[in-house]
Chain A
Amino acid sequence: MRKSMFAAVALAALLGPAAAQAQTAGKRVQVTGEIVDTWCAVTGIMFGLGTAHHQCAVWCAVGGIPVAIRDKDGQFYMVLKIEDEDISVASPKIVKIQSHEVTVDGELFERDGVKYLLVDKVADDKGIVNLTHDEHGVVPFGE
């Protein structure tokens, strides 16, 4: 009893004030859409969708730009966790499925204009189906 109390106190000290925050539950959702590089897809600085933008989406994901799922209505769900990975900066799992059309089950938190998604399970992965390269080539730089 004493040992477990000591362990809890030690863990709290290690994590800092954040550890005191209680776990909260989001809304259970299933989302279907394309895994996108949030920056390019939202800002329109460069065409940010599908095969044409795949290379850039990999660069941005590796560079730590947040990744989102864009659904058919153009809504963005920013991914903060995927399956057993709590990593959301250059997450190997997310980087690997850039531009894929996926259906995921997860937990949704909406805050200040952003839909944040904690993905519990990738229920379906159709691979890359948004073929935009014929029209746009390689974006950006053309190579």
Chain B
Amino acid sequence: MRGSRTLCLVLTLLGPTGAPVAARGAEPWNIPHEKPVTLKGRVVDALCHLKGRCAPDCGAGKRQLGLVLANGAFRLAAKSNIDFAGAIPDLIGYCGREIEADGLLIENPAITLFFVQGVRVDPQSPFIPADRFRSQWEARHGKADEWWRADPEANRLISENGPFGIRGLAPKPRP
């Protein structure tokens, strides 16, 4: 009985070849169609993988990245654990390498997104939280409680045309 349970557990964790397995650490966000998963695959640059137009070092942080799984499926990493930030800083150091990424797979009928919450190379090690965007941003700009309100490029664009993106159109004053 105990043996068959163990076998069941092992098979559940492994899953069919290349298929995502249920994640243990991913935090649910209650997003429609979300599913906690651990994806195991090779980190690739999306433009290189799909079109064959490649750049050194997977684009050196300037291109969207994803994982090619053992079954050939491609999962683009759309978001990290940092608010308003992608997962490129968390993946770029693993360009061309096999990793495990823990997170939420959101299979919306309109588009599938993968929200990365942690990454690791060694399956025995804990996941490294997908939050490198913050440290990289702070190294460039200094500490800020809300990076998005302190980002010089975002602020430049928003100050040009306002928060609605149309010059002269301003939010109503708060009562």
- In the assembled complex, the Cα of A22 lies from the Cα of B107 at a distance in Å of 29
A111 within 8 A of B: yes
For chain B, give the interface size range: 35 or more
Inter-subunit contact A89/B61 (CB<8 Å): yes
The tally of CB-CB contacts under 8 A between chains A and B is 181
Checking A18, A26, A63, A118 against B45 with a beta-carbon cut-off of 8 angstroms, the contacting residue is A18
Inter-subunit contact B85/A64 (CB<8 Å): yes
Chain A interface mostly helix, strand, loop or mixed? mixed
Would you list which residues of chain A between 75 and 126 have a CB under 8 Å from chain B?
Answer: 75-76, 78, 80-81, 86-90, 95-96, 98-99, 107, 109, 111-116, 118
Using an 8 Å CB-CB cutoff, how does the interface string of B76-93 with A read, 1 for contact, 0 for none? 101100101111110000
Chain A contact residue count (CB 8 A cutoff): 62
A4 within 8 A of B: no
Tell me the smallest distance from the CB of B112 to a CB of chain A, in Å.
Answer: 3
Tell me the smallest distance from the CB of A116 to a CB of chain B, in Å.
Answer: 6
- In the assembled complex, the Cα of A14 lies from the Cα of B56 at a distance in Å of 6
Minimum CB distance partner of B64 in chain A: A88
Contacts of B62 in A (CB 8 A): 86-90
Contacts of B53 in A (CB 8 A): 23, 81, 86
Closest 8 CB pairs of A and B: A64-B86, A113-B112, A54-B165, A63-B85, A51-B164, A23-B52, A18-B54, A59-B148
Q: What are some 7 contacts across the A-B interface (CB < 8 A)?
A: A23-B53, A26-B50, A54-B163, A58-B154, A63-B147, A87-B59, A113-B111
